[in-house]
Structure 1
Amino acid sequence: MALLLVLGRHFYLRCLAQCLFVPGTVSCFYGKSLVLNLFVCGSLQISQVLLTFPYSFAQLGLVSGILYQLLYAVMGCWSCYMTTSLYIIYKERRAKQNNPMDCHEYRSIQAMLLLILFLDSLQWYEVMDGLLGWRWKIAGLVFNTGDQFLTCVIFLVGCSSLTHSLNHHLNKRTWTLVLTGCFLTMVLIPRAQHYRIWSSIGIVATTYTAWYLTIASILLGPEPDVKHTAPPSTVQYFVGATNMLYAFGGHAITIEIADAMREPKKFKVVYFYCILYILTLTLPSAIAMYWAFGDTMLHNTYALAVLPRSKFHVAANVLMLFHQFMQFGFMALPIFMKWEKLLGIHRSKNYWLKAVSRIPVVLLVWFFAIMTPFTGLIDSIVGSIFTSFSVYIIPCLAHMVLHKTFTARKDAIEQPPFFMPSWVGIYCLNLAVVLWVLIAGVGLGGWSAISTLLENIRSFGPFPKCFQCQAK
């Protein structure tokens, strides 16, 4: 038995090494295939937000809901283009200063495995530091980390809601505690590349759930005396709009995904096709749900809550639960890396030391999840404060500042794209994104989200046992 284990381990490592390092091979983790990277991006772009879109439509109304989805989809693609461009510029500059590591020099299986597990990963704040200095580094670090951390909180809250819908014997707060124990296993996964194999599950989960919501709503038809009175108030209107802003700002881990690719430049194309696919899921499901249930969705932030129990309903619950579980790990990974760098152990080869050091991060996420488990509303709060700056404002502003001189524009590594060959057009679009997000996202969105949060705290208090359980 021992001999079989040794031989099996040797065979696994050799296959893994060949998969990663033999030229022309499609890697299990560093896949060249655009389809594979599209799966990864698509599975990470949207998850629990899919279930909150009908709730946002009940806040916005049908026309506004459709227009905001399209607007923020375009803005999300553009800001992702800016982020990826900044990353490529930084990588090119760093490559000129230091000789890039030739992975093919690592011939031994053990060295290859160490490279997989412990290779240093580039992050957004490091790009800002390398291009524009320490002030931009701090801004990128604060807003990007806040976005990622609170998104992890959202995933944990979402999982507790989905689990409660499957089993009512425990309240949501207790389920959050139970699930935290499961989420702690994510500290064992060392790098982003090791999540790629799960991307197909994410695509299946979101696609199945979106079309289940659409078909079930159409078959059930409108409720008796269904009402469509949205928007109910100005505050609710901007809460819904900010949820859309957050949904299409799901590329807060653009740098981490691009850095895990063999050809990071292609991430721009990958993200564009990803958004097109996402729109085929979010628009039909949100429209159908709002048409069928109308104002009822105002009291059910998760769309699955209003549909009757069936085997298809349970399947959607289970798929989304597993998908969010994996998304939690992927979104928490950049936070783990920052934490390791703060502790000075990120380059350590002690796998178990790094794994154990990540546990406090998960426990802090659990604390925030049980303190404010306000499903849907948390998305808007994160979107108005952290996503607005991290994903939209900072990349567009940084791109403008970096190319502010004629010489910088002339010698730029990343020249204007074919669809906008003028630097004037780039500056105008960047400025429009920054101003819109500052006014509609940070200003009006922040005001409405915080007002609603304070109202919920007054109504339910902090650490509520079972938020919106009465709607079940």
Structure 2
Amino acid sequence: MDSNRSGDTISGSGEHSSPVPLAIELVPRRIDSTSDQTEQGSSERTFGGNPEPSENTWIILFSLLFWEGGSSFDAWLSASSVQIAQVLLTLPNSFAQLGLVSGIAFQILYGFVGCWTCYVTTALYADYRSIKENQHVSFKNHTIQWFEVLGGLLGPWWKVVGLIFNTVLLFFTTTIQLVACGSTVYYINDTLSKRTWTLIFGALFMFTILIPTAKNYRLWSFLGILMTTYTAWYLTIAAALNGQVSNVKHTGANNLEFYFIGASNILYAFGGHALTVEIMHAMWRPRKYKLMYPYAILYIFSLTIPSASTMYWAFGDNLLKITNAFASLKKTRFRDAAVCVMLMHQMIEFSFTSLPVQLVWEKALGVHHSKNFTIRAISRIPIVLLIWLISLMVPFFGSINSVVGSILVTSTVYIIPCLAHMAYYSNSAARKSAIEQPPVWIFKSWRVMFAIDVCVVVLIVTVGVGFGGWSSIKYFVKQVHTFGLFAKCFQCPKK
């Protein structure tokens, strides 16, 4: 937990604890320990010289430990937890499509490109929040979202673009979580079809509407990290112990369509910073997020590269027809445990990625600022129902990841942030007053920043949208023609 929390401005009355004003973050502050102790002790009553705990002590303690998260560590937990989940199970398939070298290279490339676009997003958020705070706007009961940052800095057309792309991306990302659950649980119990399992998990996921804001995921994000770590190392160890299958082949990149499908899936895997603004807004020190996200990416590398590489070494081209890594491994108690923890993590990620969509819906209905959370929770139900319907309609686990990656992730979390960054800071006054000035490692040069922005846009438009979109959509249409909509059991092994 951040050591400066005691000096932050934390709201106790609203459902959202407003982060410390960004202007205050710029000035080093000395916390008076005496006044801090006085403040903390003012609410305590003494009995016989010892503090007498109130009846709510345990509730408050639970809230502080597991519920009210806003530190930099909480941000790292959230960023790491939502960055990778069910995609971990599709990366071996992507390595079979790309080959080992290209698979690792694309992970590193998209990981660090993601760090850059996350950085420019945090810069735009910082300026937007600073401007609003100078206008005495209060965010005590309001969660800032990406489309509001774009609209506040660049105008209504940018707001519309941000609203459409970010909302649609997170809607389909959430849909993929539900599809993945139906696909994953089948490897424990195949007495029910994947479609039936999706129906069951859709009902269970309805409870995710009860988590108010991004700051309330401390416990869940911590569990999500443990679950992803276990699954990744299970895949690595199980594949190594299994050894190479007979007559294994590692053909690699010999099909242009498959090559860019694999690249698009990895692009999707490293598109978790669509939640950047919501996570930042939940922090006590939002500007520290630009440091926490690269740490999250480095940790994710330690999970994804060993697991996907070892699986590809063991099973080679056999993975081309298997989009879920669990299908390649023998049924053991360790695999069943990995399936169970992955299911729980997907529920957590479903909740986290659907939250921004639910907040948009709350704002559209005019209930976002209501102090009655029951009203807000009820208003979220139609969003979950719609996600449930779409997941039943297109249960093509793996191929849908690539389509979302090539069309929505590319635009939302790579292209739009870079274009917005160049558009806003093309104004000399905006550059002069910017809270996030160009860092030392790019010579404190705005020109270098804009050059990086241009390179990212050209790369993503060419490889991601162009080749990636063509190959992913083509393959997705093949899946629809083969299995049909509302498929009962996509890629189920024949009994």
1:438 aligns with: 461
1:470 aligns with: 493
Is residue 214 of structure 2 the alignment partner of residue 176 of structure 1? Answer: no
Rounded to whole Å, the distance in 2 between the matches of 1:207 and 1:304 is: 15
Rounded to whole Å, the distance in 2 between the matches of 1:14 and 1:73 is: 38
Choose from 382, 387, 395 the match for 1:373.
395
1:85 aligns with: 123
Change (3 A) 1:9 1:327: farther
1:426 aligns with: 449
1:110 aligns with: none
1:456 aligns with: 479
Unaligned stretches of 5+ residues in structure 1:
1-6, 20-25, 102-114
- Aligned residues of 1:29 and 1:197 also touching (Cα < 8 A): no
2:430 aligns with: 408
Q: How far did residue 11 of structure 1 move? A: 3.8
Taking structure 2 as the reference length, what is the TM-score of the superposition?
A: 0.86
Is residue 332 of structure 2 the alignment partner of residue 303 of structure 1? Answer: no
The amino acid that maps onto 1:196 is R
2:377 aligns with: 355
Rounded to whole Å, the distance in 2 between the matches of 1:471 and 1:121 is: 48
Equivalences for residues 174-253 of structure 1 within 5 A? 174-253=196-275
Change (3 A) 1:86 1:176: same
Rounded to whole Å, the distance in 1 between the matches of 2:370 and 2:130 is: 26
Rounded to whole Å, the distance in 2 between the matches of 1:452 and 1:372 is: 13
The amino acid that maps onto 1:456 is Q
- Aligned residues of 1:385 and 1:442 also touching (Cα < 8 A): yes
1:65 aligns with: 103
Choose from 170, 174, 193 the match for 1:152.
174
Rounded to whole Å, the distance in 1 between the matches of 2:415 and 2:265 is: 17
- Aligned residues of 1:246 and 1:380 also touching (Cα < 8 A): yes
Q: How far did residue 8 of structure 1 move? A: 9.1
For the residue of structure 1 that corresponds to 2:440, the secondary structure is coil
- Aligned residues of 1:125 and 1:137 also touching (Cα < 8 A): yes
- Aligned residues of 2:75 and 2:280 also touching (Cα < 8 A): no
Change (3 A) 1:341 1:407: closer
- Aligned residues of 1:154 and 1:369 also touching (Cα < 8 A): yes
Equivalences for residues 286-325 of structure 1 within 5 A? 286-325=308-347
For the residue of structure 1 that corresponds to 2:487, the secondary structure is coil
1:45 aligns with: 83
For the residue of structure 1 that corresponds to 2:110, the secondary structure is helix
Rounded to whole Å, the distance in 2 between the matches of 1:471 and 1:288 is: 27
Rounded to whole Å, the distance in 2 between the matches of 1:210 and 1:181 is: 27
The amino acid that maps onto 1:219 is L
- Aligned residues of 1:305 and 1:471 also touching (Cα < 8 A): no
- Aligned residues of 1:299 and 1:471 also touching (Cα < 8 A): no
Q: How far did residue 36 of structure 1 move? A: 3.2
Q: How far did residue 352 of structure 1 move? A: 2.0
Change (3 A) 1:27 1:465: closer
Rounded to whole Å, the distance in 1 between the matches of 2:83 and 2:233 is: 17
Rounded to whole Å, the distance in 1 between the matches of 2:105 and 2:347 is: 31
1:164 aligns with: 186
- Aligned residues of 2:148 and 2:159 also touching (Cα < 8 A): yes
After superposition, give the CA deviation of every residue in 1:14-53 in whole Å (9 maximum; x if it has no partner): 5478x4xxxxxx8842333x33322221111111111111
Taking structure 1 as the reference length, what is the TM-score of the superposition?
A: 0.90
1:281 aligns with: 303
1:384 aligns with: 406
2:8 aligns with: none
Q: How far did residue 350 of structure 1 move? A: 2.6
- Aligned residues of 1:149 and 1:365 also touching (Cα < 8 A): yes
2:70 aligns with: 31
Q: How far did residue 418 of structure 1 move? A: 2.0
Q: How far did residue 351 of structure 1 move? A: 2.1
Rounded to whole Å, the distance in 1 between the matches of 2:317 and 2:113 is: 28
2:11 aligns with: none
- Aligned residues of 1:160 and 1:176 also touching (Cα < 8 A): yes
- Aligned residues of 2:92 and 2:325 also touching (Cα < 8 A): yes
- Aligned residues of 1:252 and 1:390 also touching (Cα < 8 A): yes
Rounded to whole Å, the distance in 2 between the matches of 1:470 and 1:231 is: 26
- Aligned residues of 2:235 and 2:311 also touching (Cα < 8 A): yes
1:94 aligns with: 132
Rounded to whole Å, the distance in 1 between the matches of 2:216 and 2:83 is: 17
Rounded to whole Å, the distance in 1 between the matches of 2:196 and 2:408 is: 28
- Greater Cα offset, 7-16 or 201-210: 7-16
After superposition, give the CA deviation of every residue in 1:195-239 in whole Å (9 maximum; x if it has no partner): 111111111111111111111111111100011112242111111
2:32 aligns with: none
Rounded to whole Å, the distance in 2 between the matches of 1:149 and 1:10 is: 38
1:22 aligns with: none
Rounded to whole Å, the distance in 2 between the matches of 1:425 and 1:281 is: 32
Is residue 308 of structure 2 the alignment partner of residue 269 of structure 1? Answer: no
Q: How far did residue 390 of structure 1 move? A: 0.8
Change (3 A) 1:428 1:12: same
After superposition, give the CA deviation of every residue in 1:129-168 in whole Å (9 maximum; x if it has no partner): 1000000001100110011000001000011111111110
The amino acid that maps onto 1:44 is V
For the residue of structure 1 that corresponds to 2:485, the secondary structure is coil
More helix by share: 1
After superposition, give the CA deviation of every residue in 1:417-447 in whole Å (9 maximum; x if it has no partner): 1211211110110000011111111111111
2:352 aligns with: 330
Q: Percent identity?
A: 49
1:254 aligns with: 276
- Aligned residues of 1:82 and 1:399 also touching (Cα < 8 A): yes
RMSD over aligned Cα, in angstroms? Answer: 1.8
The amino acid that maps onto 1:82 is V
Change (3 A) 1:243 1:328: same
Rounded to whole Å, the distance in 2 between the matches of 1:28 and 1:215 is: 34
- Aligned residues of 2:69 and 2:216 also touching (Cα < 8 A): no
The amino acid that maps onto 2:352 is F
- Aligned residues of 1:300 and 1:471 also touching (Cα < 8 A): no
The amino acid that maps onto 1:404 is S
Rounded to whole Å, the distance in 1 between the matches of 2:199 and 2:132 is: 44
Rounded to whole Å, the distance in 1 between the matches of 2:171 and 2:137 is: 34
